[in-house]
Chains A and B, each alone.
Chain A
Amino acid sequence: MGIIKPDIKFKRELGRLSGSQLNQCMQCGNCSAVCSLAPAERPFPGKEMVWSGWGLKEKLIGNVDIWLCHQCGDCSSYCPRDVKPADVISAIRHQTYLHYARPRFLGKLVSSPAWLPVAIAIPVVVIMAILSLAGTFKIPEGPVDYSAFFPHGLLNSTFSAITLFFYLLASFGIVRFWKDMKRLTPPGEAGMKKFPIARVLGEILSHSNFSGCGSQQLRKIAHMSLFFGFGLLILVTLYAIWATITHNYPLPFTNPFKIAGNVASLMIYSGLGIMVFQRLMNRSVFGKSSYSDWLLLAAIGLLTLSGTLVELARFGNWSVAYHLYFFHLVAVWFVIMYLPFTKMGHIFYRTTALLYARSIGRK
């Protein structure tokens, strides 16, 4: 038994983010019972609900179990007190991004609507500054050629550098996260296995944890389309960077990589479509979708849409081509550079948590 340090502010914040009346929880354990992903020993989300009710921030940030949850919503729909454990767990995950975010203000920036203008202004100003320094900050004459507006070499180097810088900062947070997990959920007597990378990779690629959740086929399909669409686009982008260095860019419409890019955006559209539809139609299961959730969906949607338009503008020689291109770059910043601070951060945090969980044999 230790000393309990309730953090009332943290508790209120969880309540606000999740829309849950945390005090209504009667600790019946139904949520842990219906959860098809809960481990037998110290199952979730029952204990997390108790800790949330007490505002025990130090037990919740760095908690490994909240990352084993894939938010199917069974616990919320069967909750006898309507305290929405799924949404509370999701809110704790959000608090985790904020807690480990460095620089800290970037986390705040993307998690509150009041700061949205600033979050948009940063990439706008930075991109304008780069273009002004390069001396290309004007609409070029003649047929649409984006490299005349933002030279490829400059684009690739600056954007890559900024991204790597942000991810480097994030990696410090990940290291702290790992240490916290180790402190809160120490390995058992069996100790730690070597990094079960192949296993975790298999879980992630197959989305097997999604099928663990009851009757969530559509969610699995939606996440899979986004996941593989996104993965494909990253491959295409890497190829494009290489292409700008080694041979002629832009690619013609018939290039396999171009086709792959378009297929990927179609996958993202369909995945996003399902996600938005489910959130709107099925509020009892998906609960109160938070600002950060909608912001992420909007950012991915606008990123993909502006990407498609930029491509069409090039082939169609539209006069607004460069405006669209500028907009697209801001959207790229929102999704890629801000990744560790938004809900997209789950790519890092969940993978790390899964690695830790499986290495100590927790499943």
Chain B
Amino acid sequence: MVLIERLNYLGGNVSRFNNYFPKLCPPACGLEINYSRIRSNPRISYHTGASVESICGSDGDFRVKISVEPRLINNNCTSCGLCAEVCPEERPQKLGRKAGEKAAYINNGLAFPMKYCIDPLVCKREACGKCLEVCDYDAIQLNASPAEVELQVGKIIVATGWILYDAARIENYRYQEEPDVVTNLEFERMLAACTREKTKLTRPSDGKTPRRIAFVQCAGSRDVNHLPYCSAVCCSTSLKHALTLESEYPDIHAEIFYIDMRLSGRNEKLLKQAEGKERIALTKGKVGRIVQGEGEANLVLEVEDISKGFRREDAFDMVVLAMGLTPNHVAAGLKVNKYGFYLPEQRAGIIPAASCKRPMDVSSAVKDATACALKAMQR
């Protein structure tokens, strides 16, 4: 079993979550056991920073060429963190990224492998070289070049996952113009950063604590101008966020604007939990526009409250867009459906797994991936 991971760490989006449903566990719950299984099982190996160059052969006898980007820090690393301490270069600011993160960094929160790496876009290499002086383990290799690896495998499981629909394309929600309009993934990472660093939740524009946060459902989903399909997880996600705010941030009021609350299976519990909570409001109505308002709460939502038959223009401090999910298109040449998701049936020996086939939540993805692994083991 060889894992080929594009990022510098395993665990993908989940490893950077604050918590996940249905039980609102932190990501460590579930990921840690899998990390330890990978560590202790000699038949599982992995490559980080790796991408597939080519696949030839057929079912039972594939030859896969991958290219592996160097981490610039090798396996000698003990994650002592001295390199990051002396590193003078900072990575650019991003929502949910630790402020002032250095070019030598380790993935926030759950890092597997538990080793530092260097951002090649920010590092000045030999021109600086400060980290080389402090590292006692000969771990830093600023000149490392990409490696080509060829693997011989019987089956290929494609688990490229999902990415968010581009929020900037929904121009009436002003994602690009307003720093306090964030996607639910960005919000998740902001919450994760607050949990990790034990800080208050602040809004991006002025660092103040938001009082009222609006969640806009179907941002891109169920919309013929964007994604015609339902993205399946965003209602649960927003309920999860609202419940997290309710329990962790006593000053914040959350309001979810939805077309229909679509929760699958056990996630329906989240709705039961949210209903009747004083600081969670659930309002039926699709948000039409977000416009700029006056004063501190300056994001004005234009929305019809359908159950009351009333059109509101209501100001919020922050808006979270519950974005639609799209397939992460990194595997070329696979058969796709009309929305770009991979079809379950591909040529023999290639098995797409989990959310690259359709939007689904973590537990469904785990179940689907298990099924795909079983399928791959059968002759």
Which residues of A pack against B, CB within 8 Å? 26-35, 38-43, 46-47, 78-82
The smallest beta-carbon distance between A358 and chain B, in angstroms, is 18
Q: Are A80 and B224 in contact (CB under 8 A)?
A: yes
Top 3 closest pairs, chain A to chain B, by CB: A33-B288, A29-B304, A34-B288
B interface SS class: strand
Nearest-CB residue, chain B, relative to A40: B311
1/0 per residue, CB under 8 A from A, across B223-263: the answer is 11100000000000000000000000000000000011000
Chain A residues, Cβ within 8 Å of B309: 41-43, 47
Nearest-CB residue, chain A, relative to B287: A33
Q: Are B172 and A29 in contact (CB under 8 A)?
A: no
The smallest beta-carbon distance between A363 and chain B, in angstroms, is 12
The smallest beta-carbon distance between B82 and chain A, in angstroms, is 53
What is the CA–CA distance of A101 and B86 in the complex, to the nearest angstrom? 85
What is the CA–CA distance of A272 and B259 in the complex, to the nearest angstrom? 40
Chain A residues, Cβ within 8 Å of B222: 26, 80
Chain A residues, Cβ within 8 Å of B313: 40
Q: Is B161 an interface residue (CB 8 A)?
A: no
What is the CA–CA distance of A29 and B311 in the complex, to the nearest angstrom? 9
Between-chain CB contacts (< 8 Å), 19 pairs: A26-B222, A26-B259, A27-B306, A28-B218, A28-B285, A28-B306, A30-B286, A30-B288, A32-B288, A33-B285, A33-B286, A41-B309, A43-B304, A43-B310, A47-B309, A78-B225, A79-B224, A80-B225, A82-B224
Chain A residues, Cβ within 8 Å of B302: 33-34
User: In chain B between 186 and 243, which residues have their CB closer than 8 angstroms to a CB of chain A?
Assistant: 218, 222-225
What is the CA–CA distance of A31 and B223 in the complex, to the nearest angstrom? 13
Nearest-CB residue, chain B, relative to A33: B288
The smallest beta-carbon distance between B107 and chain A, in angstroms, is 37
Q: Is B104 an interface residue (CB 8 A)?
A: no
B172: which of A38, A46, A78 is its contact (CB, 8 Å)?
A78
What is the CA–CA distance of A26 and B259 in the complex, to the nearest angstrom? 8
What is the CA–CA distance of A34 and B290 in the complex, to the nearest angstrom? 10
Nearest-CB residue, chain A, relative to B301: A33
A28: which of B172, B224, B286, B312 is its contact (CB, 8 Å)?
B286
The smallest beta-carbon distance between A320 and chain B, in angstroms, is 52
Besides A26-B259, A33-B302, A42-B309, 4 other A-B contacts (C-beta < 8 A): A29-B304, A32-B304, A33-B286, A33-B303
What is the CA–CA distance of A351 and B223 in the complex, to the nearest angstrom? 36
Q: Are B289 and A80 in contact (CB under 8 A)?
A: no
Q: Are A38 and B286 in contact (CB under 8 A)?
A: no
Nearest-CB residue, chain B, relative to A77: B225
The smallest beta-carbon distance between B19 and chain A, in angstroms, is 29
Chain B residues, Cβ within 8 Å of A34: 172, 288-289, 302
What is the CA–CA distance of A42 and B287 in the complex, to the nearest angstrom? 16
Q: Are A28 and B259 in contact (CB under 8 A)?
A: yes
Chain A residues, Cβ within 8 Å of B260: 26
A80: which of B284, B286, B305, B311 is its contact (CB, 8 Å)?
B286
User: In chain B between 271 and 327, which residues have their CB closer than 8 angstroms to a CB of chain A?
Assistant: 284-289, 302-306, 309-313
Chain B residues, Cβ within 8 Å of A31: 288
Q: Are B286 and A29 in contact (CB under 8 A)?
A: yes
Chain A residues, Cβ within 8 Å of B285: 28-29, 33
Interface centre among A29, A31, A78 (most CB of B within 10 A): A29
What is the CA–CA distance of A264 and B310 in the complex, to the nearest angstrom? 43
Chain A residues, Cβ within 8 Å of B311: 32-33, 38-41, 43
Chain A residues, Cβ within 8 Å of B288: 29-35, 78
The smallest beta-carbon distance between B215 and chain A, in angstroms, is 15
Chain B residues, Cβ within 8 Å of A43: 304, 309-311
The smallest beta-carbon distance between A109 and chain B, in angstroms, is 37
The smallest beta-carbon distance between A185 and chain B, in angstroms, is 13
Nearest-CB residue, chain A, relative to B217: A28
1/0 per residue, CB under 8 A from A, across B166-198: the answer is 000000100000000000000000000000000
Nearest-CB residue, chain B, relative to A29: B304
What is the CA–CA distance of A26 and B303 in the complex, to the nearest angstrom? 15
Nearest-CB residue, chain B, relative to A38: B311
User: In chain B between 122 and 149, which residues have their CB closer than 8 angstroms to a CB of chain A?
Assistant: none
Q: Are B286 and A40 in contact (CB under 8 A)?
A: no
What is the CA–CA distance of A38 and B306 in the complex, to the nearest angstrom? 14
The smallest beta-carbon distance between A15 and chain B, in angstroms, is 18
Chain B residues, Cβ within 8 Å of A80: 218, 222-225, 286
Nearest-CB residue, chain B, relative to A32: B304
Nearest-CB residue, chain A, relative to B227: A80
What is the CA–CA distance of A4 and B284 in the complex, to the nearest angstrom? 23
Q: Are B224 and A46 in contact (CB under 8 A)?
A: no
Chain A residues, Cβ within 8 Å of B224: 79-82
A40: which of B218, B225, B284, B312 is its contact (CB, 8 Å)?
B312
The smallest beta-carbon distance between A93 and chain B, in angstroms, is 21
The smallest beta-carbon distance between A314 and chain B, in angstroms, is 54
What is the CA–CA distance of A155 and B151 in the complex, to the nearest angstrom? 96
What is the CA–CA distance of A42 and B305 in the complex, to the nearest angstrom? 10
The smallest beta-carbon distance between B171 and chain A, in angstroms, is 10
Chain A residues, Cβ within 8 Å of B312: 40
What is the CA–CA distance of A42 and B306 in the complex, to the nearest angstrom? 9
The smallest beta-carbon distance between B169 and chain A, in angstroms, is 13
Chain A residues, Cβ within 8 Å of B225: 78, 80
Nearest-CB residue, chain A, relative to B170: A78
Nearest-CB residue, chain A, relative to B221: A80
Nearest-CB residue, chain A, relative to B260: A26
Nearest-CB residue, chain A, relative to B303: A33
Chain A residues, Cβ within 8 Å of B289: 33-34
Nearest-CB residue, chain B, relative to A26: B259
The smallest beta-carbon distance between A215 and chain B, in angstroms, is 12
Chain B residues, Cβ within 8 Å of A32: 288, 304, 311
Q: Are A29 and B218 in contact (CB under 8 A)?
A: no
What is the CA–CA distance of A78 and B219 in the complex, to the nearest angstrom? 12
The smallest beta-carbon distance between A86 and chain B, in angstroms, is 14
Chain B residues, Cβ within 8 Å of A29: 284-286, 288, 303-306
What is the CA–CA distance of A38 and B305 in the complex, to the nearest angstrom? 13
What is the CA–CA distance of A41 and B313 in the complex, to the nearest angstrom? 12
The smallest beta-carbon distance between B35 and chain A, in angstroms, is 41
